[in-house]
Structure formats: structure tokens, C-alpha cells
Structure 1
Amino acid sequence: MKKIPVCFLLLLSSYLLQAQQSFVKVKGQQFMVDAKPYYYIGTNYWYGSLLALKTDPVHGKERLKKELDFLKSRGVTNLRVLVGAEGAGKINGVDRVDPAFQTAQGVFNEEVLNGLDFMLMEMSKRQMYAILYLSNNWEWSGGFLQYLNWNGEISDTTLKRKLSWDEQRDYTSRFYSCESCKNDYRKQLEYIFNHKSSYTGKTYAHEPAIMAWELANEPRPMRVKAIDSYKNWISLTAAYIKSVDKNHLVTIGTEGFMGTEESYDLFKEIHGNEHIDYLTIHIWPKNWGWFEEVPTAENLPPVIEKTVAYITAHEVIAQQLKKPLVIEEFGLPRDGHAFEPAAPTTLRDEYFRSIFSIWAKSRTTKGAIAGCNFWAFGGLARPVKGQLFWKDGDDFSGDPPQEEQGLNTIFDSDTSTWEMIRTFLKN
């Protein structure tokens, strides 16, 4: 047998070590990868792992790989992804994400995690990182309302009908004081952390393509009276995750001031927890009434002004806590509030540019604003003509089922947006 030169083996070993993906760490107010600061522009790709479940590879695994290649080629390598939905059918008057991960109380569909396994494997090949959120304050993936229903706090009839805003706040706030609901949520976490990848055989605790675990999407106390139980849930859940996974970061998934009963003090307190590694904020000008009905060239400047002020106020808290801050959700409709991919995105591009400029300045000065995840990547999907809302069997895009398809989605065809992003990532 031919002997392989030692020098070749050393070179091969060196290459494999360089190619191996490293875990994201935190040092002060910066993310670090291989002892170097990690500042990123990423996107929300909540449905990514669900693509691998489709039997049609063109709309499933092949679509996923093409979209990952597209994002990587544009310098976008950080993706925020839903782990899985709870329950099935109508909830709060809308269809929810399908297929479900927890199909019934305590019953789990492991195939959903196998889809996540495939996505993480493909991301690892491309040196990409995932932020995985573990449940939802909102109905579109089941979330807290579903746990309340399973434990008798909400009837089936009430769960399915459209709730008023006050009703939704009243019901959802009960989650934090419902011990059986929190136990069910914990069982879902235990199932996730005990799962071994169908491709690598590793548990998620040993998967470097995961950057962080997020307790839920936008968990709010919803009512002032729930604040103490809300804080307790955050503390106990974060501590549990750290106890079973020493390698990954943990964050809460909050919107900031707007999601903490309008209290900067509460936002600071929950992110000061020793098991919470970084802060997050979300910014939704339309949902928060920062403009009326349609964004225009006239009303965009005050929206940008409010956005800058919102980011700055939370940046100060991040600096005080000496932890990184991620602007992990923000979006704006197309010009004229159109849904068609052919409609221009002039105002959205300007809005995104204002946020990315703040991030770029932070990167230059080694500041606390470490990442941005815009909402949301829709890739190769396109809205169905003449149909506003998602139906079972449609391609997933950036807009969840309860929102008009095309509302906030960035498609692969949005050339001006991708060119603008490129200008921030080319250096």
C-alpha cells in the first residue's frame, strides 16, 4: 500500500480544522466566532425547516438548498427559524402553520425535527447560523393559546373564534401562571433537547450551526398583573436551557419597550438575567400605528425618526448591561401597500437602509448593535393570484398564514433590496 506523505496529512488536517464551524460566543457587548467579532445582517426564515418535509423536492429540499445558496451569495448567513408549531386547525380565527410539531398535548411529530436536522446540516455546509425560537406568543403557530386550550383555560370554541385584543391579552397572560401549561411547554423543550439529528446523530446541544435558542417569539406579559409570573418563567426557562446545553446562547425574543408593558425597566431587568446572553428588539411601524394605512414619501421620515429613537433607547440599555443587541424583526409593506412581487420597494429600501446604517456604525465602532434580521425572506415563493391569505398546500413565504401573502416578504426578485444589502456587506 502506498504511504501517504506526512506533509499531506498535516495540510488535510489543517484544512478540516479551518472548515469546521465554530459556536457563536459572547464577549461583553459583542458576538464572537473564533475570537473575532461577529456582526451580521440576517433574515427571518421561520418556515425554513418545514421545506424539507415536502414530498416534492422542487418545492421542498431543492428549494431550501437553492434559497440557502442565494442568501449565502448575498452575504446573509444568519437565519431566525421557528422550531415547530403546536396544535392544528383554526385558532383566533385564522389557519395556523402546518404541519404541527406537537400535534396534540404531549404528542410529537419527530418528522418536523428531522426537517430541522436537514436544514441545519445544509446551513453548516455553508457556514450559516440559526436562531431557533421555541414557541410563540401569537396564534399563527399555536403557541401559548394552544397550551392554555389543552389545559382547560380556553374552550375549543373560544380558541377557534376571533378574539378581541382585550380578550387575547387576558387569555395569553394566563400562560405564565398556568403551571400545567408551563409544564407542557417544558416537555416540548425536553423532547427537542433529547432529539438526535437524523443526519449527524448529534443532539442539538452539539450542533454549531445553531447560534441561539429563543424562549418564544415575542413573549409578552400582556397584562401588568402577569409581570411577576412572566419574569419567573423567563428565569426558570433560561436556566433550564443552560443546564442542558452549555454551547449555545439564550435570548428571550422580546420586542423591547412595546412588548414589556411599555416599561424600559422591565426590559432591562429581564435581560439582566445571568442566563440571558443578549437583547432583542422588534420594530413594526404599521402595527404600532406610526403611519396611517399606507407608507408614503411624506410619512416615512417621522417613521424613521421614531425607529432611530427606539433603537437608541434600547442600545443604551445594552451598553449598560454590557451585552449585544439584535434588531431581529422589522418590516414595511411595498409602495402603495401592494402585495405583488412586481410592485416597487422604494420606501422599504429607504427604511431598511436607515436601520442597516445604524448597524454599520456599530460594527465600525465595535458597538452593542451586533445583528439585524429583517422580516422576512420569501425566496422562490410567489403569492397565489387572486388569493390574499395562505392556504394549506401553498408554498410558504415570509408572511405567516394570518397575514396577506406578499405584505412584508422580501422575494429573491427584489433586486433593489438585495443590492442595497450588498452595499452594507461588501466590506
Structure 2
Amino acid sequence: MQAVLNRVNTLTNVMYKEDPTIFAWELINEPRCESDPSGDKLQAWIQEMAVYVKSIDPKHMVEIGLEGFYGPSTIERAQEINPSSYATKVGTDFIRNHQVLGVDFASAHIYADAWISSTITEAHLNFFRSWTQAHIDDAERTLGMPVVFGEFGVSSKDVGFNASFRDTVYSTVYNIMLSSAKQGGGGGGSLFWQLFPAGTEYMDDGDAIVLSKSTETSSIISLHSARLKIINSVCSLRCRWSCKKKSAMEKEL
């Protein structure tokens, strides 16, 4: 971490920890610690690393990179929202993990085909709806921070896959995010997995989107971006975070 944060970009001569084009640091991608289902071991690691990153780079935001499974701290929520009982035993805890000092916004992923079944059914779409809304609600009401869905998608390798279903999934996630954004809620952003330029399909894991070959999906993504731009242009009038953040900043200054 020290090596990365202090690295100097050879093109701009700017240290990464000083670089204004970097949005945030992710501690680790999809951490799990099955050897300790209580979550204590991973919690201690997150506490140590979040503070360590901030000690070197206080200018950038930090997020964890969680898949978003609920854990022992909210067992009822885990039973209600998690895709399986196994997800409660992998050592992660969406609520507890994000209550750590130094973590600025919540993170979650959405993979119904990996967590429920590789055969596409209506249950997948229902899961996308409930999972997305639950994490927005809990990030906003319990954690007091926005949540970014750092990955979501549908694999073309799934049994029963078709592009129309994938487009429906994208539209479902985007509509929930837009609804939250309009209300100044906890939906901070969503990044589908994954965008590929033409000619690189040989690296496709099944989730790749090549815009030139997926015109309908491309239109959905473009429309969502345009809508978000409009909503964000009037964010200061509606955002539930602005007054609190402004007040806090003024006090610090």
C-alpha cells in the first residue's frame, strides 16, 4: 500500500496520493475469511488497513470492496436478504465492516448467477431488486453513507441467457439507483461488470459488454448516464447529505 500510494505517475509526475483524478481506494476485491465466520479477523484487518491508508493519503476516499453479504451483527437481515445461508458464514458483515473509521462509503456487488444459480430464472430479477434496494436503505438509514455497487452483471455463459434479460437487469438496477438519486438518497453509483473495447473479447469472462455489438444495452447505459447528469446538476437542492456535509466542513475549516 505504501508503494502504491507514494508512487509517482511517470506521465504526470504526480504522486498517486496527490492525484485528483483518482476517485477512491478500494482495500481489497471481494474479501472473504471462511476460517473465521464470526467476522472478527476480517474486521480487524479492515480497521487496520483503512486507518493505514488514511495515514498516508488523507485526501482520497476509501471503500472496502465487499460483495455486501450481511453477517452476525444483523442476523435477521442476513436471513432475509442474503442469497444463501452460506453467505452469512464467509466472515464478512456489510453493516459492521462499514462502521470502521476511515471508510467513506459502502460497497457491494450483485451476482445472482454466481450466488443463487447459473440457470436464469425470474428469481434472479427479484434478487437484483431486493438486494439493490436493501443495501441502499441500510447504507442510508443505518450507516449514514452512500453505497456504490462496484460490480453487477449477467454472464452470457448462464443457462438460459439472452441479451434481453441482461438489459432488463441493467434497467432494473438503474431505475432503483435513479429513484434514490432523485430523492437525494443512499444510492451513490453503479458500475456494471464489465466494459470491453472491440477486439479484446478473447478476455471475456462471460460478462463483457462491447458497446458496438450491444446497441440496446449501450442505449440503456447512455440514457442512464444522461439522466444521472441531469439529477446531479440539481443535487444541491435535493441531496439529503449536503446540509450535514456543509455544516461539518465549515466546522472543520
TM-score, structure 1 as length reference: 0.46
Find the partner of 2:168 among 346, 350, 355.
350
| Alpha-carbon separation, structure 1, partners of 2:139 and 2:96 | 11
Q: Which has the higher strand share?
A: 1
Cα offset for 1:285? 1.2
User: Which secondary structure state, in structure 2, belongs to the residue aligned with residue 257 of structure 1?
Assistant: coil
AA at the equivalent of 1:262: T
Q: Residue in 2 aligned with 1:262?
A: 88
Q: 1:259 to 1:348 in 2, by over 3 A?
A: farther
User: Does residue 239 in structure 1 map to residue 60 in structure 2?
Assistant: no
Task: Report 1:261-340 matches (<5 A).
Answer: 261-262=87-88, 266-289=93-116, 291=117, 293-295=118-120, 299=121, 301-319=122-140, 320-334=142-156
- Cα deviation for residue 307 of structure 1 reads 1.6
What is the rounded CA distance, in whole Å, between the counterparts of 1:336 and 1:265 in structure 2? 26
- Counterpart of 1:354, as a letter, is T
In structure 1, distance between residues paired with 2:158 and 2:5: 45
Paired residue total? 210
Q: What amino acid maps onto 2:195 in structure 1?
A: F
Choose between structure 1 and 2: higher helix proportion: 2
8 A Cα contact 2:25 2:62, kept in partner:
yes
Equivalent residues in 2 for 1:167-246, closer than 5 Å: 189-225=1-37, 227-246=39-58
Report deviation, 1:228.
1.6
Deviation at 1:337, TM superposition (A): 5.2
Alpha-carbon distance in structure 1 between the residues aligned to 2:208 and 2:176: 22
Q: Deviations over 1:324-372 (max 9, x none)?
A: 101111111239759xxxx961110011100000011111111101100
**1:306 Cα deviation after fit:** 1.5
SS at match of 1:242: helix
Please say if 1:410 is aligned against 2:236: no
C-alpha deviation, 1:259, in angstroms = 8.4
Identify unmatched segments of 5+ residues in structure 2: 73-86, 228-253
Following superposition of structure 1 onto structure 2, how do residues 89-128 of structure 1 map, counting pairs within 5 Å? none
Going from structure 1 to structure 2, the CA distance change for 1:195 and 1:259 (only over 3 Å counts) comes to farther
Two-structure CA RMSD over aligned residues (Å): 2.5
Contact kept in structure 2, 1:216 and 1:253, CA below 8 Å: yes
How much has 1:245 moved relative to structure 2?
0.6
Distance of aligned partners of 1:237 and 1:411 in 2 relative to their CA distance in 1, 3 Å threshold: same
Task: Say which structure, 1 or 2, has more relative contact order (CA 8 Å, 6+ apart).
Answer: 1
AA of the residue aligned to 1:418? S
Distance 1:335 1:347, change over 3 A: farther
Aligned position for 2:60:
248
Counterpart mapping for 1:67-146 below 5 A: none
Normalising by the residue count of structure 2, what TM-score does the alignment of the two structures yield?
0.75
CA distance, structure 1, for counterparts of residue 37 and residue 155 of structure 2 = 35
Matched residue SS, 2:8: coil
Structure 2 match to 1:371: 189
Identity among equivalent positions (%) equals: 28
1:421 to 2:221 alignment: yes
User: Take 2:135 and 2:13, find their aligned partners in 1: how far apart are those partners?
Assistant: 40
Gaps of 5+ in 1: 1-188, 385-396
